[in-house]
Structure 1
């Protein structure tokens, strides 16, 4: 991103830690009845009454999970909340609160932190979650963001990875693969820019897949959608690491196998075009690319009539006996063992 050298910048040391916390949280409002006390004491106070609480945490590290040369700080703040809200949605629960902790180096002025927290605030407003605390500290290695999300659900609503049964249908929301290809376009344009900084990229033809990478959305609408359809998922997971990896997580936790059908995968037309441009196989990208933050779940075969034809849902396969293994059924009707080649947080090479 081109930097305006004339901007006046405020050093974080001018505010101190508590001054910074007061400054960046003053525009956050309380939206949940369960939030008794948010920021301003030694701990937040929540009251979920008869419901169960679900909790999930993610850590985002500059240079590993995001690149600030093309990721605007406002988008980063928004995405940091989304990836955690998505984990709550993947339990078939309702997200309610988040805590946000940051470690930041002295190259970031106050104005940069304001941008980051504006994105966090927009996500909190959109998903109706309350910011209830966190921590701020200094860093020698750039920017780190840790978000913990909380949510609520009744015991009957909560859905684990371990409930898939033989003959269940495998269902996915939205489309898959686009976020990964959005990242490939951004990386390509970054390399062009490094060679020729005068060259401004024209990204109009890639708007959808880039948005899927820079500003993904969590599927907090699916719990209500399934309730209205009178469908209770038997297992559920979100697609952060690629659908092949997520299918394997469900199958391992549930002690089942699976057949995934290539011709049923929901691919956006822009994804298909860009895969051709990059000379990449769209199926490979769709099943191995991560960061879609869609939901993958299983439902009983008896619910087929309730969900078939729904514009938000695609039936992409079915659960088999564990001994039959986990397979991709190609368009030519060839049965291939499904391998997890998605994102591995501890090994960037995979």
Structure 2
């Protein structure tokens, strides 16, 4: 297929705000019974009956949270939704609706926003959530995306960060560090491209970790799995800022300490080999890398048999008395205190 070197570009001012919203959202269908009215009125209308409502909002800013030189707009739309759904699943809740607001500069034609919304639409269909509203406005500094996610849960099933008790087991889903190492690969290839624009990066050996960075998957399946296993987490959080930061959040909110075992941290072989290539310590990457969007939670010890041997779940430690602090037990058996070195969007 011959690539179109001069694709059609439609200036956004040709449509105006209301026609733009109508155009970008025309293919979004309503699938949740709780959505009585979505886009098209002054406000959306939801009927959540006797469930508790949970909400989360995230703002993604070009140049701070994403780099369009290697982040395709369709992937960005998908990832922006995942970031928010992950927060809902971290409450042990079911995500049902989202709103999407964007601020966009005139360097983006309509076709670029169509790509962005194609990723958003794929996410809504894959995770059965309804797009019910939002806003569009102009920007002088590129692209900003703000998404609010809404979910529901039974009162007795909501998992806060504050429910962990000493002796609870600390459990993580999936594996860690992939998103950070994927970012390292993309940044390296970007630097090579700047020096030699004719170079073609070979990303195939890094497929898994690059996908972890560009197209993360929120762990809706874990909420469903825990329900099937009849396990209610005592506390839960998603891993957006790195394992150590999230453990410290749980410890602070629950007033407990923690022993994390270094040799239990789940690492994909691709992550280990990439860490060796970049001369980065894999444990440090898991502790501080962030953007994995896995779930970190605590369970009562009596529930251990229910999760034992499950390939989605790894017990990586246990909670202790607050006076003992949050520590990592190294492979050599020594203890070192955990520090928060995760993402800080305000650093220079």
1:198 is aligned to: 198
2:217 is aligned to: 217
Task: Report deviation, 1:304.
Answer: 1.1
1:311 is aligned to: 311
| Mapped partners of 1:309, 1:266: distance in 2 | 14
| Mapped partners of 2:126, 2:306: distance in 1 | 28
1:39 is aligned to: 39
Which deviates more from structure 2 when the two are superposed, residues 299-308 or residues 36-45? 299-308
2:269 is aligned to: 269
Task: Report deviation, 1:4.
Answer: 6.4
| Mapped partners of 2:139, 2:231: distance in 1 | 47
Task: Report deviation, 1:227.
Answer: 1.4
| Mapped partners of 1:100, 1:92: distance in 2 | 23
1:340 is aligned to: 340
SS in 2 for 1:194: helix
1:123 equivalent in alignment to 2:123:
yes
Task: Report deviation, 1:305.
Answer: 1.1
1:38-89 deviations in whole A, cap 9, x for unaligned?
0000000000000010000000000000000000000000000000000000
| Mapped partners of 1:221, 1:8: distance in 2 | 40
| Mapped partners of 1:233, 1:13: distance in 2 | 49
1:75-110 deviations in whole A, cap 9, x for unaligned?
000000000000000000000000000000000000
RMSD, aligned α-carbons: 0.9
SS in 1 for 2:96: strand
2:178 is aligned to: 178
| Mapped partners of 1:306, 1:13: distance in 2 | 57
2:25 is aligned to: 25
Task: Report deviation, 1:346.
Answer: 2.0
| Mapped partners of 1:225, 1:23: distance in 2 | 37
SS in 1 for 2:100: strand
1:52 is aligned to: 52
1:232 is aligned to: 232
2:99 is aligned to: 99
Instruction: Give 5+ residue unaligned stretches, structure 1.
Output: none
SS in 1 for 2:344: coil
SS in 2 for 1:161: coil
Task: Report deviation, 1:345.
Answer: 2.2
2:16 is aligned to: 16
SS in 1 for 2:155: coil
2:82 is aligned to: 82
1:243 is aligned to: 243
Instruction: Give 5+ residue unaligned stretches, structure 2.
Output: none
1:145 is aligned to: 145
1:110 is aligned to: 110
1:127-159 deviations in whole A, cap 9, x for unaligned?
000000000000000000000000000101111
SS in 1 for 2:220: coil
1:210-248 deviations in whole A, cap 9, x for unaligned?
000000000001111111111110000000000100000
Task: Report deviation, 1:7.
Answer: 1.3
| Mapped partners of 1:97, 1:305: distance in 2 | 34
